[in-house]
């Protein structure tokens, strides 16, 4: 199979905002992607240890044996995808599950040859610009608009190709931006969070830091703050009974109306509608 044949069939797509490690080693039937939105830990995969932290992405081909280990009590947020790389199984949306290593059934593995580029484990760090793509893919897969399978498949395909083509630069600026993103993740609820405050925290001019942020993430600092607040709000809409006004204050918006308008502009539905769609999915 060649790269141009890729047309992913997504079987499972969710963001887990309280991701936990397992006490046993699992073995996957289909391909897996884990994007670490926040937090850190390690995974043992096919006998090798990989440390991970915020903005890491991990790809497993079928038959990978793995175990995630989370040592701290910190909440880990991870986007998880289970999928095939071809559309032969497009009518089959059944989640194949993740059995323990000793309960693995070889007959359940979808039959096709993987392209050599995806025939092995891939672990990449500082992979900033794929996070929002994967978030959009999850939303579409869950809300199921017209042609959702095709749309979600095309987004995941783009993400997979980016995984192969983007350079994994480990320079000073990557580490700086990673630190900025971590700072935002810990301070997003502060109404006064701003470009100037963040620039002062890292002892850089706000214009320079904002330009770096735009180059690495595709967003200005302000745009990323709003993006992160909305991401946290989506999780709260699904996992809590807090009303919309309470959520607006908790994630750092200065008024419920501003939150509702911003949410609707970004996702095409109100926070209440988003909650109802995901409640039906559950």
SS3 244: helix
Residue 144: the pLDDT is 86
What is the torsional sign of CA 119, 124, 130, 136?
positive
Residue 87: the pLDDT is 84
CATH 2.60.120.280 occupies which residues in the chain?
A: 3-165
Q: Is the CATH code 1.10.10.60 the one for domain 175-281?
A: yes
User: Regarding the domain delimited by 3-165, which CATH topology (the fold level of the hierarchy) does it fall under?
Assistant: Jelly Rolls (2.60.120)
CB atoms closer than 10 angstroms to residue 154: 15
CA-nearest of 51, 53, 33, 229 to 134 is 33
What predicted TM-score, i.e. pTM, was given to this entire model? 0.81
Residue 192: the pLDDT is 92
Contacting residues for 168 by C-beta, under 8 A, at least 6 apart = 124, 125, 126, 127
CATH 1.10.10.60 occupies which residues in the chain?
A: 175-281
In 121-239, where does DSSP find H-type helix?
131-143, 148-165, 172-187, 195-201, 206-217, 221-239
Residue 172: the pLDDT is 64
List, run by run, the mean pLDDT of 10-residue segments along the chain (282 residues).
89 86 89 91 94 91 94 81 87 80 92 92 84 89 89 95 69 79 91 93 92 87 93 87 95 94 91 82 54
CA 248 to chain centre: 22
Residue 169: the pLDDT is 47
Are the C-beta atoms of 15 and 89 separated by less than 8 Å? no
pLDDT tens-digit series, residues 252-265? 999 999 999 999 99
How far apart, in whole angstroms, are the C-alpha atoms of residue 69 and residue 83? Answer: 23
Residue 88: the pLDDT is 82
């Amino acid at each position: 199979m060649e790269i141009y044949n890729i047309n992913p069939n997504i079987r499972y797509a969710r963001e887990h905002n309280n991701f936990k490690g397992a006490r046993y080693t699992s073995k996957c039937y289909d391909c897996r992607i884990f994007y670490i939105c926040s937090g850190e830990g390690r995974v043992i995969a096919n006998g090798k240890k990989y440390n991970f932290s915020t903005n890491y992405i991990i790809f497993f081909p079928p038959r990978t044996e793995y175990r995630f280990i989370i040592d701290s009590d910190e909440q880990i947020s991870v986007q998880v995808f289970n999928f095939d790389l071809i559309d032969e199984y497009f009518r089959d949306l059944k989640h194949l599950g993740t059995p323990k290593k000793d309960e693995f059934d070889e007959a359940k593995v979808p039959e096709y040859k993987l392209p050599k580029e995806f025939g092995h484990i891939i672990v990449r760090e500082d992979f900033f610009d794929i996070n929002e793509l994967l978030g959009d893919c999850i939303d579409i897969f869950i809300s199921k608009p017209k042609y959702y399978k095709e749309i979600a498949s095309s987004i995941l395909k783009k993400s997979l190709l980016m995984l192969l083509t983007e350079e994994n630069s480990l320079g000073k600026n990557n580490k700086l931006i990673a630190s900025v993103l971590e700072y935002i993740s810990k301070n997003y609820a502060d109404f006064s969070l701003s470009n100037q405050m963040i620039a002062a925290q890292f002892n850089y001019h706000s214009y320079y830091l904002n330009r770096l942020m735009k180059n690495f993430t595709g967003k200005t600092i302000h745009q990323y703050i709003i993006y992160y607040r909305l991401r946290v709000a989506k999780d709260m809409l699904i996992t809590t009974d807090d009303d919309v006004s309470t959520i607006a204050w908790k994630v750092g918006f200065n008024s419920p109306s501003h939150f509702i308008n911003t949410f609707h502009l970004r996702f095409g539905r109100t926070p209440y509608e988003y909650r109802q769609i995901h409640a039906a999915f559950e």
